[in-house]
Amino acid sequence: MQGTTEISNLSLLFIIVFVMIPVSLSYWFSLNLSKSVLWSSLRGVVQLFAIGYVLTFLFDLPSWQGIGLWVAVMIIVATLNAARKGKGIPYVRVVVFAVIALIEALIISLWLGFGYIPFTAEKVIPISGMIIGNSMIAIGLALERLQSQFKEERGRILAALSLGANPKQSSHQIIRKTLKAAMIPNIDGLKTIGLVQLPGMMTGLILGGVSPLDAVRYQIVISLSIFVSVAVCAMLVTIFLYRFYFNDKMQLLDLHT
């Protein structure tokens, strides 16, 4: 590829030198993280090589087959991972799956509709991975905060209900705190984008020989697309699922038992 240097397998092996730095520090300061660092590094390398072979296979399939198969896998894995944060909430997996699938379809349709990318596995799958991955993280954060807030503020909610407040009114502060917790990381990221770090897509395009200005345009589109997907996913999941903390008689349920 123009503008890049091929990395040989032998050269790749020498990256272990960098991994040994945190391993040595962990051992030196008795952090007991050496095995975790080594295992995580090894697992990451194996997973990346495996996905490289999988993507090679998918790219050789007709576009609709490769895209459909792998996007479905990504959505299912993201759903299972994010839904674990909302253990005990009824229909959490169904809601998370529906929200991620909806946002993925919306964002990719916009990309295709405006001609940002062609309908090929090489283009749609990486973009989908960024959208689904960030949506998964935002939903996980939202569910984790939703669980903790309902547990911590149970007394206040019960008091509000006893004074005549409905579930929406008694949960208003929890919903606000949940959405802020899920969205703040991406808001902070947008504030410093390009100043503190060059984003991954932009860096990849520049390394591939694309001019910096063209790379910036693509990065603006993907960054704002990710921000929209994160915001909408967090909002929809929170708004749909907070209701399950209450029964039909507007009584607060204990979903942590």
Q: 84 and 28: one domain?
A: no
Whether the Cβ atoms of residue 109 and residue 96 lie closer than 8 Å to each other: no
Residue 251 domain-assigned (yes or no): no
Q: 56 and 149: one domain?
A: no
What is the pLDDT tens value at each position of the chain, 257 positions in all? 444 567 777 777 777 778 888 888 888 888 888 888 889 888 988 988 898 999 899 888 888 898 999 999 999 999 999 999 998 899 999 999 999 999 999 999 999 999 988 999 988 998 999 999 999 999 999 999 999 999 988 899 999 988 889 989 999 999 999 998 888 888 888 887 776 666 777 777 787 788 888 888 888 888 899 999 999 999 999 999 999 999 888 888 877 65
pTM: 0.82
Long-range contacts of 60-64 (CB under 8 A, 24+ apart): 61/121, 63/119, 63/120, 63/121, 63/124, 64/119
Predicted confidence at residue 257, as pLDDT, reads: 53
Q: How many whole angstroms separate alpha carbon 20 and alpha carbon 194?
A: 30
Q: Which domain holds residue 33?
A: 7-60
Domain termination site, one of 44, 60, 76: 60
Tokens found for residue 76: 């299912």
Residue 253 domain-assigned (yes or no): no
Q: 29 and 132: one domain?
A: no
Q: 106 and 228: one domain?
A: yes
Predicted confidence at residue 256, as pLDDT, reads: 61
Residue 229 domain-assigned (yes or no): yes
Residues in the chain: 257
Predicted confidence at residue 59, as pLDDT, reads: 87
Provide the domain count of the chain. Answer: 2
Q: 83 and 108: one domain?
A: yes
Q: 140 and 34: one domain?
A: no
Neighbours of 188 (CB within 10 A): 11
Predicted confidence at residue 77, as pLDDT, reads: 95
- The torsion angles phi and psi of 110, rounded to 5 degrees, stand at -65, -45
Domain termination site, one of 21, 45, 60: 60
Task: Taking each helix axis as running N to C, give the angle between helix 63-83 and helix 92-113, from 0 to 180 degrees, rounded to the nearest 10.
Answer: 140
Q: 196 and 236: one domain?
A: yes
Neighbours of 176 (CB within 10 A): 12
Neighbours of 38 (CB within 10 A): 16
| DSSP, res 197 | B
Whether the Cβ atoms of residue 174 and residue 149 lie closer than 8 Å to each other: yes
Residue 1 domain-assigned (yes or no): no
Predicted confidence at residue 250, as pLDDT, reads: 83
Q: 56 and 85: one domain?
A: no
Residue 90 domain-assigned (yes or no): yes
Q: 130 and 190: one domain?
A: yes
Predicted confidence at residue 1, as pLDDT, reads: 45
Q: 27 and 135: one domain?
A: no
DSSP alpha helices (H): ranges in the chain?
Answer: 9-13, 16-28, 34-59, 63-83, 92-113, 121-152, 154-162, 167-170, 172-192, 200-207, 212-241
Angle at 149 between CA 146 and CA 152, to 5 degrees: 150
Residue 2 domain-assigned (yes or no): no
